[in-house]
């Protein structure tokens, strides 16, 4: 398993951060006591708030770190030669994040006692531990700083459309990008609906802009009331709306869009002394294909919406 002149497995010693500049004779007995563990893609190596007494050296593959849940954006990736679990090994506290295999990977497992034995006999190993800890803290500071800037931007620009109560375009650009990345990582489905109110300009010209605002509000509320909480809905602009449905393939999304179209068509627009006639919507539906970005899937849904308009409006098109 270990040749002191070469490394561990196919990974040279100089590529392993903990062993950098450590004399091979200091490593021989310690590495012989370590096991090699293989991880399948998406297998969780570490869970937050759990006791951990092992340090993991990545030999091949890639690991990702999540602070919130496995579906959230990774805050960092770990490549071959880097380590995971060092914080809990050093301070004895439970782990603070998920560490998940981003692809099939293998790790060398060092028990806590072996880590401290190596740090005791080798100043270079102790220095390497401190360097890795410093890098982890700097990355945490960077994430905190980015989060604060993001929250400041949300506060400055707002994320809710005042007329409809939906999320706005600014929020949509950020949220949909995260959803597309999450779908790609987990190989799960994600469908997007683009809705447009039919003949809205004529409605505005006939009934006035105040009635037009009521119409947009009514359609938006109908959309929100018809969808489950995990579905993302936003006002895309003017009389257009976008709905993103996670874990739903195109065929099911078309059925959802059909029901949504019917509900909008049955909804009267509040007006005094009598309600205005209902409006209809055309809906384009697209699903996220491998390699697509949020911009790509919006363009695909918009093209499907155009096809729905060409079919005569008040219809759904993939």
Decide if pLDDT at 4 tops 60.
no
Structure letter (DSSP) for residue 17: G
CA distances from 61 to 41, 77, 105, 213 (A): 9, 11, 4, 54
- What are the helix and strand counts (H, E) for the chain? 9, 16
Decide if pLDDT at 214 tops 80.
yes
Question: Distance between CA atoms of 210 and 249, rounded to whole angstroms?
Answer: 38
pLDDT at 157: 61
Q: What is the DSSP string of 105-135?
A: EEEEEEEHHHHHHHHHH-HHHHHHHHHHHHH
Radius of gyration of the chain (CA): 27
Decide if pLDDT at 6 tops 70.
no
pLDDT average, residue stretch 137-154: 74
CB atoms within 10 A of CB 224: 16
Confidence band for 160, pLDDT divided at 50, 70 and 90: confident
Question: Distance between CA atoms of 170 and 182, rounded to whole angstroms?
Answer: 19
The architecture CATH gives domain 169-317: 2-Layer Sandwich (3.30)
Confidence band for 155, pLDDT divided at 50, 70 and 90: low
Sign of the C-alpha dihedral, residues 98, 68, 233, 242?
negative
Phi and psi, residue 46, nearest 5°:
-130, 140
Question: Distance between CA atoms of 291 and 135, rounded to whole angstroms?
Answer: 31
pLDDT average, residue stretch 232-252: 93
pLDDT in tens, 277-313: 889 999 999 999 989 999 999 999 999 999 999 999 9
CATH 2.60.120.10 boundaries in the chain: 2-144
Confidence band for 189, pLDDT divided at 50, 70 and 90: very high
CATH 3.30.70.270 boundaries in the chain: 169-317
Token readout for 6 is 């070469």
CA distances from 66 to 77, 84, 101, 147, 278 (A): 9, 12, 11, 14, 46
**What is the topology classification, in CATH, of domain 2-144?**
Jelly Rolls (2.60.120)
Confidence band for 2, pLDDT divided at 50, 70 and 90: very low
CB atoms within 10 A of CB 79: 13
Q: What is the rounded average pLDDT for all residues in the chain?
A: 88
């Amino acid at each position: 398993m270990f040749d002191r002149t070469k490394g561990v497995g196919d990974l040279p010693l100089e590529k392993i951060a903990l062993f950098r500049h450590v004399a091979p004779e200091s490593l021989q007995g310690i590495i012989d006591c370590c096991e090699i563990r293989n991880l399948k893609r998406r297998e969780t190596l570490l869970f937050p708030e759990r006791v951990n007494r092992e340090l993991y050296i990545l030999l091949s593959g890639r690991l990702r770190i999540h602070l919130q849940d496995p579906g959230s954006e990774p805050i960092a990736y770990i490549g071959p030669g880097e380590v995971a679990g060092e914080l809990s090994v050093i301070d004895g506290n439970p782990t603070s994040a998920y560490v998940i295999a981003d692809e099939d990977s293998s790790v060398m497992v060092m028990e806590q006692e072996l880590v401290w034995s190596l740090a005791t006999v080798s100043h270079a190993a102790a220095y390497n531990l401190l360097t890795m800890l410093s890098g982890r803290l700097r990355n945490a500071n960077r994430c905190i700083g980015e989060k604060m800037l993001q929250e400041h931007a949300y506060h400055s620009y707002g994320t809710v459309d005042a007329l409809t109560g939906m999320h706005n375009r600014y929020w949509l650009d950020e949220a949909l990008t995260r959803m597309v990345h999450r779908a790609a990582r987990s190989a799960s489905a994600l469908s997007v609906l683009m809705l447009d109110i039919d003949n809205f300009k004529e409605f505005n010209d006939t009934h006035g802009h105040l009635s037009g605002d009521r119409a947009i509000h009514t359609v938006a509320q109908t959309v929100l009331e018809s969808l489950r909480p995990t579905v993302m809905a936003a006002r895309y602009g003017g009389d257009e709306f976008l709905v993103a449905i996670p874990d739903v393939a195109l065929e099911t999304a078309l059925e959802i869009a059909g029901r949504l179209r019917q509900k909008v068509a049955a909804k009267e627009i509040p007006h005094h002394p009598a309600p205005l006639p209902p409006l209809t919507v055309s809906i384009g539906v697209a699903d996220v294909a491998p390699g697509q970005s949020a911009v790509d899937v919006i363009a695909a849904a918009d093209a499907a919406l155009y096809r729905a308009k060409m079919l005569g409006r008040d219809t759904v098109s993939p």
